[in-house]
Structure 1
Amino acid sequence: MYNPLSVVYTHSLALYEMAKSLPENLPYCINKLHTTKGRIICVGIGKSAFILQKISSSFASVGLASQFLDPIQGAHGDLGGLKEHDIILAGSYGGESTELIPILSFTQEKNIFSILMTAFPSKRLAQIATATLLLPQVKEAGPLGCVPSTSSLVMLVLGDILVSALECNITLEQYRSHHPHGALGFKLAPVTQTMSSGNDLPLVTLTTPTMETLMIMSEKRLGCAGVLNEAGQLVGVISDGDVRRACVNLGDITPYFASDIMKKNPKTVPAHAIVEDALKVMEHYKITFVFVVSSEHKPLGMIHMHDSWKNVR
């Protein structure tokens, strides 16, 4: 009977072996990529093509000029776009992809630096590449033992190592500017760009009657209210749950004020925080909203677990 965990075990073993013997020239290749004045041109065929496309996309996401070159199109004229300061990063696990021979032969002739990721350094491609990053020789996962799987994984991981090494050269803000959309872009966005603010904020004072507080909470439709002291500082919050608990404990809440039912010392994030910081606070304290405050602890906005997406701009 087929055991799906066998794939996981095979992959895990390959990564363990890879961790024990990373290429000795890895720092050298990383430095060449870091100091290049041109582009990083990624090349591969078959399954390796998809791996190299992903690696190229990751390079671009950290601010490096990178693109994928289809070796077939390259051999039919696109090689003319390569420049002397470019670097070729090619991938061929078996080292015998004939489609890559014209690419690496051209770079050798034009003195364009090339790096080949392969598990077989004695094969022809390794002989014409400028540098070789050695992959471990691994067993493919699956019953047939020949469908590219584990070999693709180790090539992908080596590519991720290269990207991660160069990722150290950019800031989180720079990375976010390269990735403004999607879940990742949202999490990296400053809270000031996604928070509810201004007239949308449900704010009351310590002496606001509870019924008026409930009306403001209902009007703003955020399921909560922030409570301010005389200096305009946030000193408490009231959630829908706090109102229900007050009804249970106090009975008729109409004679009471916001200060009587609020929760003191509310959780907040500073204005320089990113959305991911706010989400972590909410997850850790099991709350659904968090106020964004200034250095004087005055409310600037609020991030709500359920409503933040609609405020992305």
Structure 2
Amino acid sequence: MNKPILAADRFGVASAVPGLDPAAILETARQVVATQRDGLGALSTVLGDSFVEAVRIIAAAPGHVIVTGMGKSGHVGRKIAATFASTGTPSFFVHPGEASHGDLGMITESNVLLAISNSGETSELSDLLVYSRRYGIPLIAISSRSDSTLARQADAALVLPAVDEACPLGLAPTTSTTLTMVIGDALAVALLGLKGFTRDDFRDRHPGGRLGNVLLRVGDIMHHGAAVPVIATGSAMGQALIRMSEGGFGCVGVTDAEGRLVGIVTDGDLRRHMSGDLLAQPVEAVMTPDPKTIEATALAAEALKVMNASKPKINALFIVEDGRPVGFLHLHDCLRAGVY
């Protein structure tokens, strides 16, 4: 078996860095993962009444969750605020240094303050703590020390378990920041359930990027109105061919006297029924009955799955309401919208 070529070898780094040992590097990485995994296990055992109280406080607040923290706690806090906001809990981050120079005005009695400090003694948070106590703003703390100033002042203190940092010096915030982020995620998900947050709500907050594409509804990208290629039963195939050409989709739906979709004529149907009198035949003699359909409220990804799962595969679906076609979706519509 050929030995894999490391990127360090390809670019000459291995020879340029004395003592570079790939096995030792991987062992270090695995130790970091193991240390943080153990920390998460310890965190799951200490979550209790304080966590429930924190969720209750946030759920009862009419305003935003204001997240704050300094240094690495601040970086994690920004992520927590973003997760809250995207999952139905209005939130934003306030830098504690800026808060002392006017941004305290962003915080009102309707808000909840979520303050993060590993030590619980971060001096830059002092003005925020005083402000929250003065105006009766609910305070939730995330800290590793239950006897810290921050934890003692809080209405709900979420205390991290005593765990080792993954840094071999025991100094760089690593495991502690991971646990803090996980607590933030746990709060957001718990609140998501309480608020009845749905996939539609999530889609409304994520209209861009891959998430927005995944959550698109059929009704968002379907053709509708005069663009829906349909023809009535009793029509000649000559008329059906004209309608197929006008639509440019390679098919036409067939509706009964009440406007319900009863069949579809595709290019494949034309090939199977090719004869000298094809154009004179009624569409119902050529159509494939009971075509695949979907509702406008379905996810576009579900429509794509229906097309791919059909035997044989199909590349279009009619969108129906009470059996009547109200839209049309082609495989290419999904691909153009980034649904795949």
- Give the TM bin, normalised by the shorter chain: 0.7 to 0.9
Q: Does 1:203 align with 2:211?
A: no
Contact 2:167 2:173 in 1 (8 A): no
Q: What is the letter of the counterpart of residue 198 of structure 1?
A: G
Deviation at 1:184, TM superposition (A): 3.7
- Separation in structure 1 between the aligned mates of residue 165 and residue 308 of structure 2, nearest angstrom: 40
From 20, 23, 34, the equivalent of 2:59 is: 34
Matches within 5 A, 1:157-236: 157-168=182-193, 169-172=195-198, 173-205=200-232, 213=240, 216-236=243-263
Query: How far is 1:103 from its partner?
Result: 1.9
Contact 1:282 1:288 in 2 (8 A): yes
Residue matched to 2:319: 292
Amino acid paired to 2:63? G
Match of 2:295 in 1: 270
- Which residue pairs with 1:107 in the alignment? 132
Pick one of 73, 93, 100 that aligns with 2:118: 93
Q: CA deviation at 1:289?
A: 3.3
TM-score, with normalisation over the residues of structure 2? 0.72
**What does the per-residue CA deviation read over 1:16-53, in whole Å, with 9 as the maximum and x for residues that have no partner?**
44334423321111111111133311112223223222
Aligned to 1:156: 181
Q: Secondary structure at 1:307's aligned position in 2?
A: helix
Hey, what's the Cα distance between the residues in 1 that align with 2:53 and 2:96? 25
Question: 1:22 is aligned with what amino acid?
Answer: L
One-letter amino acid of the structure 1 residue matched with residue 327 of structure 2: G
Q: Please say if 1:302 is aligned against 2:339.
A: no
- For the 8 Å contact 2:119–2:143, the answer to whether it is kept is yes
Residue 78 of structure 1 and its aligned partner are, at CA, apart by 1.9
Q: Taking structure 1 as the reference length, what is the TM-score of the superposition?
A: 0.78
**CA separation of 1:211 and 1:94: change in aligned 2, threshold 3 A:** farther
Change (3 A) 1:269 1:105: same
Q: Which runs of 5+ in 2 are unaligned?
A: 1-22
Aligned residues: 307
In 1, Cα distance between the equivalents of 2:249 and 2:37?
46
C-alpha RMSD of the superposition: 3.7
Contact 2:213 2:337 in 1 (8 A): no
SS at match of 2:326: strand
State which drifts further: 38-47 or 100-109: 100-109
Q: How many percent of aligned residue pairs carry the same amino acid?
A: 33
User: What is the DSSP-based 3-state SS (H/G/I as helix, E as strand, rest coil) of the residue aligned with 2:178?
Assistant: helix
